[in-house]
Structure 1
Amino acid sequence: MSFTLSLQDLKCHYVNQIPDDTVTRLAWNNAGSPLLLAATSWDKTCRIYKIASAGDMGVHSELGITYRQEAPLLSCCFSNDNLRVFAGGCNQSVSAFDLGSNSTTGMVVGRHDKPISGVHWVPSFNAVLTCGWDGKVALWDGRQQNALWSQVINAKIFASDVKGNLLSVADNMGKIHTWNLDRIRHNEQKLTSNSLLRTQVRALSLFPDTTHHAGVAVSSICGRCAVMWLKPDAMHSNFSFKCHRLDQHKGGGKTTLATCINGLDFHTTYGTFITGANDGTLAIWDKDNRAKVRQFTGVEGSVVSISFQSYNNLVAFATGYDWHMGLDRNLMVTTPKRIGVIRLKEEDIKKSKSTISGRR
């Protein structure tokens, strides 16, 4: 099989009735029937799509319901039982929406002092966890006005993830903060480390194994990722690498453009991770062998969010203007806004002894 595949080869399915503005976050529910994909957007909506198989490696989708808020929504997640979806953003609150009813009105379960950048479900607490630009991380169970637990790191939180008993966030100062959620009630201190990246972190994902080989991968706005282990005896293996870079030929010379890597997510079964950037490509990486497994082209736009549905080997990605050039009304209009879903084969994701070691 070719090392590089196009989305046409993979029968990429593009979702209809997408948001009117750029998607901010994509999130899958737990494996079940129906399989659901949530998308929050700058257009102040959280849309829920039903995803199903369609023939050989194909995918079908339909819009289920749209929840509207008074401000842009930046993040979302499902409860573990798939009965509720949570969304938060620029209205500085997180709301719960009942998927079993026809009501589009949510119930506010938590509040921040600034926009909420991350929303995650924590099964062990049966609660939703939020992270915000006010530097606060907080747990909310919806039964009381105050948070079950909260802590402030005194810096904006731009990226976050929860897996197992771990919470990890990246701030605007280049720091990664990680908590063991099993021990927060005992006031155990968080682990703080440098991201290994010289520029702002855009995306973060914890390793699937949070017990024996805990770690985190992060991506930046300038074509570089870092892989970091959290246990002291494994930190010597930390590394960063260049990726998603474009060669440009001008005036007889060649320059390299480092692109913004907006999406990163791990496959929970195989332990590889996928990245998406505004160079219009996706790539799957093997952190243990420090190698690229596969590259996908033909995205036709800047990737702004990406999410694995590991049980079914599905990848959802969204494209749109990511503001890497600041306020540019032309790019806001002309950059394609799409939500795509592809079904991958095991050989596209799984680590291999013959993995190619190319970086870019």
Structure 2
Amino acid sequence: MADQIELSTPPFDGISQVRFSPTSPTNLLVASWDTTVRLYDVETNEQKTKFDHRAAILACAFADGERAFSGGLDTSVRELEFNTEKINNLGQHSDTISSMNWSKDFSSLITGSWDRTVRFWDPRAANAQQSSASLPERIYHMDLVNHTLVIAMASRLFHIYDIRNMNTPTQSRESSLKFLTRALACMTDGQGYATASVEGRIAVEYFDPSPEAQEKKYAFKCHRQTIDDVDHVWPVNSLAFHPVYNTFASAGSDGTVSIWDHKLKKRLRQYPKYHSAVPSIAFNCDGTKLAVGVSYAWDEGEEGAKAAERPSVYIRNAGDEVKPKGWTGN
């Protein structure tokens, strides 16, 4: 069995997000700057449906096997129905939508925007927007684990909320990293999160504010290479925690994807380099596959774009390399 397959009908422009279904290990959404969101069956390697939008899509999220959501530069929050291929407009932000998460517990879509608001939507309601919370800065990334919502903003600010009470954050933090936040992912076990920056660093953080827990947090360098005695540093674009083992993958503009055991502070594996930067990665719900979106990431400006290859999406089989050392199961 091959280590990975390449999807046969990838987007035409940069990939902004790859996301697997929370219930089906074979259904994958791919959002792109080519203004589409595509739904694939990675088992049969076919594109099941495609939704066209008016502008680049930066974020997408599954609700269930029947529908998903999308948002991006045109500021609209949309519901995508797979069976009917219908697009329903739920409402608007006043600026670009940068991130979204579906809360299964509340049957709510949570969207974050450069307009400095987080909004909650109930797609079944006549007036879909249920509530809105204002934040001090533009929202770049969000991730949700259980009832805990982590929001990464401009100016390296982080807010942590319990989504049952959005009136005030449970914690406000400044990033442990000195530069712009490029990626964020919550641990599967709900203990904390990892965040990454444009200058090749990842920080591992814990929610528990006690001094003992906070002593466990650390940051490390990655996605770097010394070429002819010159240190090259690449942005870390995406992070994804394994749903079973709680190890995580990181993807960078150097075209590499690495697997890390954050408890042992060790790299378990680095996969062979891809043809371009890797803007987004995602594990499927049972942890057997890793989707890797590969496309030019504009780190080298217009010149690099002329030489860039067409985007690709690879589906890699996740084997023992994603298990922590000495794993015996729960």
Q: Taking structure 1 as the reference length, what is the TM-score of the superposition?
A: 0.86
Q: Per the alignment, in what secondary structure is the counterpart of residue 331 of structure 1?
A: helix
For structure 1, which segment, 64-73 or 143-152, has the greater mean C-alpha deviation from structure 2 after superposition?
A: 143-152
Q: Does 1:68 align with 2:59?
A: no
Alignment match, 2:122: 141
Distance 1:311 1:300, change over 3 A: same
- The one of 95, 98, 105 equivalent to 2:81 is 98
Q: Per the alignment, in what secondary structure is the counterpart of residue 8 of structure 2?
A: coil
> In the alignment, is the contact (CA less than 8 A) between 1:160 and 1:203 conserved in 2?
no
Alignment match, 2:171: 191
> In the alignment, is the contact (CA less than 8 A) between 1:301 and 1:336 conserved in 2?
no
> In the alignment, is the contact (CA less than 8 A) between 1:223 and 1:259 conserved in 2?
yes
- The one of 44, 50, 54 equivalent to 2:35 is 44
Superimposed CA distance per residue, residues 157-192 of structure 1 (whole angstroms, 9 cap, x where no aligned partner): 1111112111111111111111111333xx343411
Q: Per the alignment, in what secondary structure is the counterpart of residue 82 of structure 1?
A: coil
> In the alignment, is the contact (CA less than 8 A) between 2:243 and 2:287 conserved in 1?
no
Alignment match, 1:215: 192
**How many pairs were matched up?**
324
* Structure 2, unpaired ranges of 5+: none
- The one of 294, 309, 319 equivalent to 2:294 is 319
Alignment match, 1:126: 107
- The one of 242, 262, 273 equivalent to 2:221 is 242
Counterparts of 1:288 and 1:273 in 2: how far apart (Å)? Answer: 11
Q: Per the alignment, in what secondary structure is the counterpart of residue 348 of structure 1?
A: helix
Alignment match, 2:180: 200
> In the alignment, is the contact (CA less than 8 A) between 1:302 and 1:335 conserved in 2?
no
- The one of 308, 325, 330 equivalent to 1:352 is 325
Shift of 1:110: 3.0
Q: Per the alignment, in what secondary structure is the counterpart of residue 106 of structure 1?
A: strand
Distance 1:332 1:262, change over 3 A: farther
Shift of 1:333: 4.5
Distance 1:198 1:228, change over 3 A: same
Superimposed CA distance per residue, residues 300-340 of structure 1 (whole angstroms, 9 cap, x where no aligned partner): 210010001140410001111112233x1442542451100
Shift of 1:30: 2.2
Letter in 2 for 1:127: S
* Structure 1, unpaired ranges of 5+: 1-8, 53-59, 355-360
Counterparts of 1:312 and 1:221 in 2: how far apart (Å)? Answer: 27
Shift of 1:353: 4.9
Counterparts of 1:36 and 1:137 in 2: how far apart (Å)? Answer: 27
> In the alignment, is the contact (CA less than 8 A) between 1:321 and 1:332 conserved in 2?
no
Distance 1:69 1:336, change over 3 A: closer
Shift of 1:147: 2.5
Q: Per the alignment, in what secondary structure is the counterpart of residue 303 of structure 1?
A: coil
| % identical aligned pairs | 26
Runs of 4 or more off by more than 6 Å in structure 1? none
Q: Per the alignment, in what secondary structure is the counterpart of residue 311 of structure 1?
A: coil
- The one of 51, 55, 70 equivalent to 1:87 is 70
Q: Taking structure 2 as the reference length, what is the TM-score of the superposition?
A: 0.93
Counterparts of 1:259 and 1:82 in 2: how far apart (Å)? Answer: 36
> In the alignment, is the contact (CA less than 8 A) between 1:300 and 1:336 conserved in 2?
no
Shift of 1:48: 0.5
> In the alignment, is the contact (CA less than 8 A) between 1:114 and 1:134 conserved in 2?
yes
> In the alignment, is the contact (CA less than 8 A) between 2:242 and 2:287 conserved in 1?
no
Alignment match, 1:339: 313
Q: Does 1:167 align with 2:149?
A: yes
Q: Per the alignment, in what secondary structure is the counterpart of residue 182 of structure 1?
A: coil
Superimposed CA distance per residue, residues 78-107 of structure 1 (whole angstroms, 9 cap, x where no aligned partner): 11x321111110110110011122x3x411
Q: Does 1:158 align with 2:140?
A: yes
> In the alignment, is the contact (CA less than 8 A) between 2:35 and 2:55 conserved in 1?
yes
> In the alignment, is the contact (CA less than 8 A) between 1:281 and 1:296 conserved in 2?
yes
